[in-house]
Structure 1
Amino acid sequence: MIPVRLQIKGFLSYYDPVDLHFDSFDLACISGSNGAGKSSLLDAITWVLFGEARRRDDTIINHRSPAAEVVLDFNYENAVYRVQRSKQKEKTATLDFFIQSSAGNWKPLTEATLRATEDRIRQTLRLDYETFTNASFFLQGKADLFAQQRPGDRKRILAAILGLETWELYKEEAARRRRGFEIELANIEGAITEIETELKETDDRHARFNALNKEYATKKELVDARKALLDQQRLISDRIENEMKRIEKQSLEIKRLHAELDRQVDDLRARQEERKQFRQQIENENNIRVEHEQWLKNQKTLAEWETIASNFRQFEIKRHSPLLKIEVERASLQTELNNLIATNKTFTTLQEGMPSLLMQVEEFQQAIKTDSDQLEMRSVLENDMRELLAEKARVKAENSALKVAMDELKERISTLQATTGAICPTCEKPLNSAERHRLMGELNLRGKEKGNAHRENQKIFEHCDTLFREKETELLALQRVDADLKLQQRLFDVKSEEFRKNQVDIENWMSNGLVRLESIQKILLNETFAQDARAELVVIDEELKKLGYDAATHEEIRKIELTGRESQQSLLQLEQAKSTLAPLEREIESLEKAICSAEEHLQELEEEFQSDGQKMNETSAASPDLSQLEKEYYSIQVDVNKLLTEVGYAQNQVDVLKIQQAQKLVKLEEKETVNLKISNLKILERAFGKDGIPALLIEQALPEIESHANDILDRLSASGMSVKFETQREFRDKKRDDRKETLDILIRDSAGEREYELFSGGEAFRVNFAIRLALSRVLARRSGARLQTLVIDEGFGSQDAEGRQRLIEAINLVRTDFAKILVITHLEELKDAFSARIEVTKEASGSQIHVVSA
């Protein structure tokens, strides 16, 4: 991982945005005073990549900033990536991951969740925070992190740094495949067991097949014999059925002839009844003719009355017109009278309400005067409110300035409290303890004065605000008065206009409408309307009297004529009877002969039907039961079919034995193949495990790491110290012949071999530095572009001048193995040892950086 660009905002001591480009140097010193923010640059890198820093909660956010944001562009294995992480106070952090396309655009690699995105970044780098810092970062307080790990953890971290986690993936894949083949083997063995169990039944299956085949042949002969007997009986049954159908037809024909005979008898009786009626009508001929002549006379008299009635109806129609005119005129006058009466009631009510309406007009006039008097105070209130707003604005502006001044004093006091070597903000000279406390006292006193002024202004602001709200309440009340005034004015105008209009309407009614009402009442009472229609009606009534029409007499003659109409029908029936009687006599004689012939034919058919039926019953009784024969046949056939199915199944069971024998050979070959695969995969699991290839690779890498570490340590200690790695040691149990896997660090100097904890701070740092630098150097060579950045954040303070020079020489020694080396120090004498410097300063607005190149 090679950093290209780092952007920081609101992170730890960096309040304002900072933009650091790494492309102008390969080795640089990050310098600055204690607390300036040097280590925060490294915290920004580890935080944006892994979410890890010296602090992990909201304390990473600058106290003046609402959020912290870090963006890192880096080159990794010939690709450029960007990671952007931000966090707002008391909220979850956000994380975005990008890769740069060939066109220079950023393509998102961000996953659905923050944790998934962090996993994606770790997979891309193939390193986690712990491994990354162990290999590339010498952070404050963590230079001995690798050396202080337990032996087992050292081996795990070294394996991760060397990229040996891939072998663990290989081991897991081999184990996964082995488990799959073991499941397959279990299935194969189960199949073989089932096949062998089935093959043990060979003799039983052959014996069962032969027995079933023999039984089937016997049953087949029996069912064939029953089939022949059944076919013969079916032929006999068909003949009997045909004879029964013929007899049934005879029965139907006899029934039809009986019905036909009954119909002829009924016709004969009906004709005889008609003959009787015709003879009676002929005997009553004289009476019928007398009644018919009387009816003709009555019919003539009715015609005369119909003529008189027609003339009467004409005059009645003429009366309708004058009567209608009289009623229309009456209805028109009555409608007008009703309307005038209703209008008179309305004006009477209106006149009674005039005093009340006049009183309302006077009340609205008085309310208008009262509201107008109150509104004269509005301009005074508005002027008072403008003055109060101006005073509030003045106090608020003054307090804002006081707040800024108090915050600056608070920050200066915090800076003086946090550091021991503070700089005077006025003369920029170092302060001793007494001067620092005196300056802090002055700043506290000034802060108290400004706080008192701020609180006094706040009281003034609150008092003005209270008065303003009171005035505002009064003004709102006047606004309601103003609205009420407008309402009262509108109501006054409406009621005044209503009063004036009512006066005019009442006067018009009294002079016109009331006079017309009295006139109509008199006309209706005296019936003095529609005089022309009344005269016309008198003339028509005189003509009606001259006709002498009597409706009751007319109706009586109509009823008599209606009753006599039956004589006309009786006369027609008489004439019909005289003409029909002779043919009817001949028809009766013909029917009597036909009935006699039908009775003789029907008797012959019934005798033949009785004879054929008796013969049929005798034949049916002598025949066997066909349904019983069919039942017995089908029962035997079911048994034969069942036996045939069992024979087929037994044959299949015998045939399948040959297939299973061949399948057993196939499964045995598959078992042998799968066993071989499982055996090979178990070998691979052991080879890919921590005691296999990874252990061999570590064994191969350790001599190179040890050689580089001793080469660097030789320079740092003037050939006085060396380091050695041991990967095995004896168990505490002396009875065991094998050795325990470990990764011990043995350190030797002029005093001999000692434990790591017994070395001084400077000596321990040189050992840690040599091991870590050697580790990074070897890894950089072995992994190509994997670990190409080295950061050193401590150690120079624990070394004397000669030790510091040797550390610088060691750094230059491995310079060609890394694309970027960053050395952090606060020692002024070390700045000139580096051609490029990143100077970090602490200002009032926060930490700032300046890149200086030689």
Structure 2
Amino acid sequence: MIPVQLILKNFLSYRDATLDFGGLHTACICGSNGAGKSSLLEAITWSIWGQSRATVEDDVIYSGAKEVRVDFTFYNNQQTYRVIRTRARGATSILEFQIETPAGFRPLTRKGMRATQDVIIQHIKLDYETFINSAYLRQGRADEFMLKRPTERKEILAELLKLDQYDVLEERAKDSSKLYKGRAEELERSLDNIKVQLQQQETTKAQRVELESQLNSLQQQQALDNIQLQSLQVVEHKRQNWEQQLNFVWQQYQNLSQDCDRLHEEQLAVKSQLADLKVILNQAAEIIAGYAQYQSLQSQEEAFAVKSEQHTRATSFRQQQQQELTKQVQTIEYRFQQAQAQLEGLEQQEQEIQQTLTKSSEVETALAQLASARKHLNYFDQLQMQVNPLLQQRLSLQNQLDRTRASLVARLEQLQATETQLQSQYRRQPQLQQAALDVGIQIEELEKKRVYLQRVQEKGQERRHFIERLQVHQRDYEKLLGELEQKLQVLQSPNALCPLCERHLDEHHWSRVIQKTQLEYEDTQGQFWVVREQMAVSDREIQVLRQEYREISQQLAGYDALREQRGQLAAKLQATTDVQEQLQQIALEREHLESSLQGDYAPDKQVELQQLEQYLQQLNYNEQDHTLARSEVERWRWAEIKQAQIKDATKKQAQLAARKPKLQATIDEFKLKIQLEQTDSDTAKQIEALTQEIKELNYSSEQHNKLRQAVRESQSWQLRYQQFLSAQQKYPQLETRLEDLASSYKSRLADQQRFATQIDSIVEQLKATANPTEQINALEQQIAIRRRELDEKIANLGRVEQLLHQLQTLQTQYVQEQEQLKYCQQQHRVYHELTQAFGKNGIQALMIENVLPQLEAETNQLLSRLSANQLHVQFVTVKAGRSGKSTRKHTKLIDTLDILIADGRGTRAYETYSGGEAFRINFAIRLALAKLLAQRAGAALQLLIVDEGFGTQDNEGCDRLIAAINAIASDFACILTVTHIPHLKEAFQARIEVNKTQQGSHIYLSI
């Protein structure tokens, strides 16, 4: 993927920005920290994959903007593509994907953003994780691989190689293996239970026959008893009708007796009420006089209640007015106190102003000193304006000379490293030839084993086909044996028929048929056992072939790696043919560079720099004197502040003098208002009027209470008067009611005598009818006992039939579960082998072992450029360890991923290396991993982005890093380096400078 153009709108710190990558091969993205350098790279990843450092998707939108848009055009696999991703705040993103054609860009966008994202990855052959671990070397991740423990490094390498998919497959295979194993165990237990249950099938059939016989006998006896019970129930029904009629007549007789008693009691109660009412009517005169006295006392009490209400209302209103008057006086007193406080504040301010005015002469002297200092500073400012452009020009010339020298030094070191590497390659030519010969011999041996492995596989297929044919013969023999057994069973019968013609057999023919059938049965059984033996032998042969196939497959595991190694050795041998000519060209160029570094480079720039130095000495500008002049001006700046304070104090003094008389007049006015409010206000007059009104009412609460007590004492005459009126109304009504009760009592006595006659007649008829209740109860009890016995037999029969049905179902289930058991056992074995294959020690370990040699070779090739062939890296995947608790020491191999680093002083631990050396090692390993991951993804690594911190490098290390980047520039179509260090920035001819202002970040391209 090669970038062509990037257009940003409201992305992170950018408002509107366009970056054209045309003509950029090796470029530097530079600017201060926080200017937005890394945001350019985040825009590329966000446009293609929708991924960035923002945790919330709306965070990529510029602060205050509503929408973000990134338009990225790039070149990949000889095609030009364009990706446009937009997003509105609070909404979903929109993704467009286009390809360039002669007629313009043609859309490749699919329905849905996920489908379009899949199309993009399909075309560029890189997902986000592979990109940031290959082409994009992000900040702070260079040493991630080295700082981990050896056991964790393999995990990181597996993660980068995306071997975690095999972990998922391992878990799936393990789960499936456990599932089939558990299912097989469950089926075995189920088959054992079914086998035990099927053993009781014959016993259950005998129980069913016996239960059916007992049930028929009980049902016949129960039918006879039901007929006898029905005849007895008819007699009992007639007797029950007479008893019900007797109960009805007796109930009517009882009701009439109760009515007579009730009417007699009511007559006595009415007579008693008439006597009481007569006593009340005789006291009529006394009751009327007491009621008149009660009405008089009640009228007097109502008059006193009106006076009480008026007195309470006047007293309450007078209290409210008194509270209002107090509140008004307090308000005036508060304002009076505020005016006094203001007058005291004015007097305090006058004293402070007088102190300020006493310093006027001292301030005038300081102002004169300030004018003189400013005049001296103005002279130095004008001189600085002349010197600054010259200083900038001198710095620019010095930087150009330094860059020229740095490029010469870097080129010289690059030539030296290349010369050393070529010499090393030239010396290694005999070793490479011998190694290529050895690898060729190993490959030839493995190819012979591959041919033999194919023959083993063909032999195994032939054996499997032979077993399948034997299985068909076995089924045919089993079927024939079953038919012969059936014939022999039929012939055992006394009246046996011929199995072919179905005629009766005499003794001679019967013995011949049996003998012939038995001979055929024995011959068939012999052939059946021969087939079984052949199947067993073939099965053992297949097991031996399978074991041999696995052993040869393990031996062939390194075949592809050997072929790849042979190709690499052939390429290295081809590269050594032109080494001698390259060494001569490098020697000539190196001599020219060494002579130039003696001082004969950029002569015009050096002359111009000397002239600038002479002119600056003539101007004689001193930054220290300029600083002293500024400090002198700052020293006397206080005089201007004091002068302004004196002017304000004079003005304020006049204002205070004008405000004091007004405040004194206000205080006197408030004193007079307080006196008038307490005597002549409307509120005070209302209080006086209410006091006079309360006095004129002349209300006495004691007299009122005595009157209330008298009303309560005479209140009983009101009740007695109401009783007298009620007695006058009820007395005639009760006399009429007494006459009606006497008439009803006589009628009820006549009806009672008539029902007593009917009761005697029904009792005589019941005595003449027999009672079959005891016979019916005994017969019903016997029928109920037999019914329970019948229900029990029927239930037992149902259970037996249900059990027989279940046993038939279990027989079918037994056959099905046997087939399922065979299938589950086979699947368990398959998934168990897959679990081991997908595990850490299976395919994953094999892939890592195949990748590490390539990673080591690529790392050392890059590291030789960075360290002038001083550092070498070796990856070790196993090491010797100790095991056991006894005194004897036993060694075993431990799985690890150690990284051995060798330099001129030997092999040392990674932690002992300096920051610069450690960074070079990290950078080489990281770049080698990037190339490896890109190759595995099926994409060419054409773009390299280095967003690492170079702060750990000294000047020499930075120059070597730049030289290494220039050395690998031919391997990439575009290299972008992000830095804020001036020394590194000046080393690149093409620069993308990023500057941040209040309006956002801006891009300046310098080529």
TM range (shorter): 0.3 to 0.5
Q: Larger relative CO (CA 8 A, sep 6+): 1 or 2? A: 2
**Structure number with bigger Rg:** 1
Using the size of structure 2 for normalisation, the TM-score is: 0.41
Using the size of structure 1 for normalisation, the TM-score is: 0.47
